[in-house]
Amino acid sequence: MPPLPSNLAMVPFVSVEHMMGLVHHIGIERLLQDLAAEIENDFKRWESFDKTPRVASHSPVGVIELMPTSDGEMYGFKYVNGHPKNTKEGLQTVTAFGLLADVDTGYPKLLTEMTLLTALRTAATSAMAAKHLAPKGAKCMAMIGNGAQAEFQCLAFKAVCGIGTVRLYDIDPAATEKAARNLAGSGLTVVPCKSSEEAMEGAEIITTCTADKQNATILTDNMVGPGVHINAIGGDCPGKTELHRDILLRSDIFVEYPPQTWVEGEIQQLDEDHPTTELWQVVTGQAEGRKDARQITLFDSVGFAIEDFSALRYIYRAIQDTGFYADLDLLADPDDPRDLFGMLTRAKA
């Protein structure tokens, strides 16, 4: 019998079951508020992070991406896919998992599911951005695209921005029914709609969160009136956008990390010298967010590694002293660090 793995071999692993338990233990709205605050704090120290556009492997039907970053103390990465055709095959569009490691030793400190955590962090980031960019006192949001991310977005806007009404639209009425059912009892007034135009009636915030592997036009220019904030989530790959170019030309555009957003975001439709503002500069007060009531603000979200890092570190802290993880025998730990082969040999039955 080989000896049992040592403590050094063990890495906390948060399974999907544990993540769901943790979310309910903390409370989903409180967790979304906490995550928004964590992400905002990390945006305030943006310059202390290593930054690189995510590493994307494209195929005709989807993309698989690795998203690394480090603040010099911890290192994190996420594996994530995006396959819009998947739901037709009974699979999800987006799945993810991620890892947090100690920079000093290089040893992993956490391995976790991130499919749920991605939905939570994306919603928290959107709401944090809207806190800085949306019209003051906004109460109504149009939610276009009612798939996996939708309810998370709606709840984050309620918890962080005080939204009271969501107007739902999806080309597939079954998705709208699902989202309306899930949001019943949330405290939000939920209005299922039959078109994007109907969903946008009276909305001060418009979230687009659709999945399609093409340059789609979810919003056309004539649909967008002055003064709204657009939270565009679904356009996040080369050749995969949601907004008509003319909307971009009328908007003040805010982005996460420009070298990534120019490749993946709505702004891939624009000339490279078109002005954009980095969200972290708004968060730190170095750049202006919303200037006036008639301005259209657009958060051209693609999802950046620092948001995942914030989420990983939050989960790492949150699981301490709880039962919401299992120790995983992830690291080989030979008695003599240089005798890896000996450890293998001695394990032979």
Ligand X SMILES: NC(=O)c1ccc[n+]([C@@H]2O[C@H](COP(=O)([O-])OP(=O)(O)OC[C@H]3O[C@@H](n4cnc5c(N)ncnc54)[C@H](O)[C@@H]3O)[C@@H](O)[C@H]2O)c1
Catalytic, out of 34, 42, 170, 236: 236
**Is residue 233 close enough to count as binding ligand X by CB under 6 A?**
yes
- Chain Cα centroid distance, residue 266: 16
**Is residue 216 close enough to count as binding ligand X by CB under 6 A?**
yes
**Is residue 146 close enough to count as binding ligand X by CB under 6 A?**
yes
The two structure tokens encoding residue 161: 């921005």
Task: Evaluate whether 35 touches 120 at the Cβ level (below 8 Å).
Answer: yes
**Is residue 210 close enough to count as binding ligand X by CB under 6 A?**
yes
User: Which CB atom, from 11 or from 35, has the smaller least distance to ligand X?
Assistant: 35
User: Which CB atom, from 22 or from 117, has the smaller least distance to ligand X?
Assistant: 117
Q: Establish whether 42 is a catalytic residue.
A: no
**Is residue 218 close enough to count as binding ligand X by CB under 6 A?**
yes
**Is residue 62 close enough to count as binding ligand X by CB under 6 A?**
no
The Cα 268–Cα 79 span in angstroms is 23
Question: From the list 141, 234, 289, 305, which residue makes contact with ligand X (rule: CB under 6 A)?
Answer: 234
**What is the maximal distance between C-alpha atoms in the chain?**
74
Phi first, then psi: give them for residue 44, nearest 5 degrees.
-70, -25
User: Which CB atom, from 19 or from 302, has the smaller least distance to ligand X?
Assistant: 302
CB of 62 to ligand X, least distance (A): 9
Cβ atoms < 10 Å from Cβ of 89: 7
The Cα 202–Cα 228 span in angstroms is 10
**Is residue 180 close enough to count as binding ligand X by CB under 6 A?**
no
**Listed ranges 26-34, 128-136, 207-215, 341-349: which one lies at the site for ligand X (CB under 6 A):** 207-215
**Is residue 172 close enough to count as binding ligand X by CB under 6 A?**
yes
**Is residue 122 close enough to count as binding ligand X by CB under 6 A?**
yes
- Nearest in space to 36 (alpha carbons), one of 120, 105, 143: 120
User: Which CB atom, from 144 or from 200, has the smaller least distance to ligand X?
Assistant: 144
| Helix axes of 16-26 and 115-133: crossing angle, nearest 10 degrees | 40
Question: From the list 14, 23, 74, 94, which residue makes contact with ligand X (rule: CB under 6 A)?
Answer: 94
CB of 57 to ligand X, least distance (A): 15
**Is residue 147 close enough to count as binding ligand X by CB under 6 A?**
yes
The Cα 169–Cα 94 span in angstroms is 20
Helix (H, G, I), strand (E, B) or coil at 290: coil
Sheet of 74-82: strand order equals 55-59, 62-70, 74-82, 96-102, 108-113, 10-14, 326-329
Q: Which of residues 302-321 bind ligand X (CB under 6 A)?
A: 302-303
Helix (H, G, I), strand (E, B) or coil at 316: helix
Residues with a known catalytic role: 236
* Site for ligand X, rule CB under 6 A: 82, 87, 93-94, 118, 122, 144-149, 170-172, 175, 209-212, 216, 218, 233-234, 236, 301-303
